[in-house]
Amino acid sequence: MSRPVDTADESRQAGPPDEGYRRGLTSRQIQMMAIGGAIGTGLFYGSSTVIARIGPSVIACYAAAGVIIFLIMRALGELMTYRLTSRSFADYAREFCGPFLGFTTGWSYWLAWTVGCMAEVTAAGHYIAYWWPAVPVWATAGVALLVLFVANIVSVTLFGELEFWFATVKVVAILALIVIGIGILTFGFSTLGDTASVRHLWTDGGFAPHGAWQSMLAMHGIVFAYLGIELVGLTAGEAKNPKETLRKAINTLPVRIAVFYIGALVVLLSVLSWTEYTPGVSPFVQVLAAVGIPGAAGIMNFVVLTAALSACNSGIYSAGRMLRGLAVSGQAPAAMKRLSARRLPLPAVILSTLIMGFGVVVNVVSPDKAFVYITSVNVYAGMWTWAMILVAHLRYRSKVRAGLLPTVGFRMPGAPVTNWLALLCLTFVAILMGASSDTRLGLYVWLIWFAVMIAGYRVARGRAVR
């Protein structure tokens, strides 16, 4: 029979293996990275399209998705308390679900970040066009990607510090918007004072003006907004005091979602009616422009640009570490194992960034649909990773119940029922995306990708046997 592991027992459990990385990420940086991971382009840019499509019901959709995300992160937290690893998603899938699913999860998470960065640099190009509309989006996207690549190959400390300040800018901006919005609603100042009201949440066609089904069809955009929140799981190999830091980051997630997503959306949809938001224009920029504060729209556009750069910065970091982890496990070319003199996975970062550059090409070929196409692929890849975290956790718990593995103090609430609930929700979103003509491309790409994974695994296994 298994027994709970006390604090002393947990401290004796093996930490993340020494894979040659330098522990240059401080608790301050990781905590702010965790906050920043909950605030990205999906909220700052993509939410305008979702708002225009489903109205105030976007608030309920973000809240429901937030609950599922918290359950996924608690499952990951329990696994990381059991055994820390800097290749967490792939390692847990390999240990509890078998080598093929471990292989597929590692490569799929790499795909999620490389494709995710394509979406982020696309958004960054649109933001920069606010100041220089004559410059093509693909050109500004390419420059942004190059700058972030340089930041990632200098040192992990520089990456962490850059991400800290990116996240700080986003947090301060959203809190400022919430304060301004509450001031408008309470005291009626600015040009919006006469019309701003919480009644906008239910009077302009109702809370779900196009019906509950239409609201559910928009879930892929909301899921995209949460992608990357699991990034803290990859910092174990370069974090100081990783177990304590990661627990704190996960436990504060509901507060971050409540303030930065739900709180911000309630303010946005109260200050302006949902019918006034324009798809493709950041709702944050639109509100501050309507408030009439001199230069406010430009300042907020800088903030949302920061959000896109932050997400892409994290993507380069994550993709490089995951690709090197695959190489260390013999599941990627051996050249990707090499570290630079600064103990950074330089070849893996270079290759990942080159692949991300394909997003610039997509913007040349289809500038109008690039963001939707890229995000649909990104969501399928990201949801696969989340699903494998939940399945690996189910397998871990079953081994705990059988007395084969020790239990830990940091447990996922409601498991295994909550595991199945979260998996059912992810499956439902995947089906809805396949039913929509706008996002069906993501399903096709994912099916092709899975076939590639089957072939790639056979090749990797054959090489290992030889």
pLDDT of residue 88: 64
pLDDT of residue 396: 96
Tens digit of each residue's pLDDT, the chain (466 residues): 444 443 334 433 444 444 555 555 666 676 666 666 557 777 877 788 899 999 999 999 999 999 999 999 999 989 988 887 756 678 899 999 999 999 999 999 888 888 878 877 877 887 888 888 888 877 888 888 888 888 888 777 777 787 788 888 888 888 888 999 999 999 887 888 888 999 999 999 999 999 988 888 888 888 888 887 777 666 655 556 667 777 877 888 888 889 888 999 999 999 999 999 988 788 888 888 888 777 777 887 888 888 888 888 878 888 888 888 888 888 888 899 888 877 788 899 999 998 888 766 766 666 666 667 778 888 898 899 999 999 999 999 999 999 999 998 889 999 999 999 999 999 999 999 888 887 888 899 999 999 999 999 988 887 654 5
pLDDT, tens digit (0-9, with 9 covering 90-100), for 176-233: 889 999 999 998 878 888 889 999 999 999 999 999 888 888 888 888 888 877 776 6
pLDDT of residue 221: 83
pLDDT of residue 9: 42
pLDDT of residue 12: 38
Strand partners, 25: 239
pLDDT of residue 1: 43
List all residues 6 or more positions away from 228 whose beta carbon is below 8 Å from its beta carbon: 37, 40, 113, 116, 311, 314, 315, 318, 382
pLDDT of residue 160: 78
pLDDT of residue 452: 94
Enter the pTM of the model. Answer: 0.85
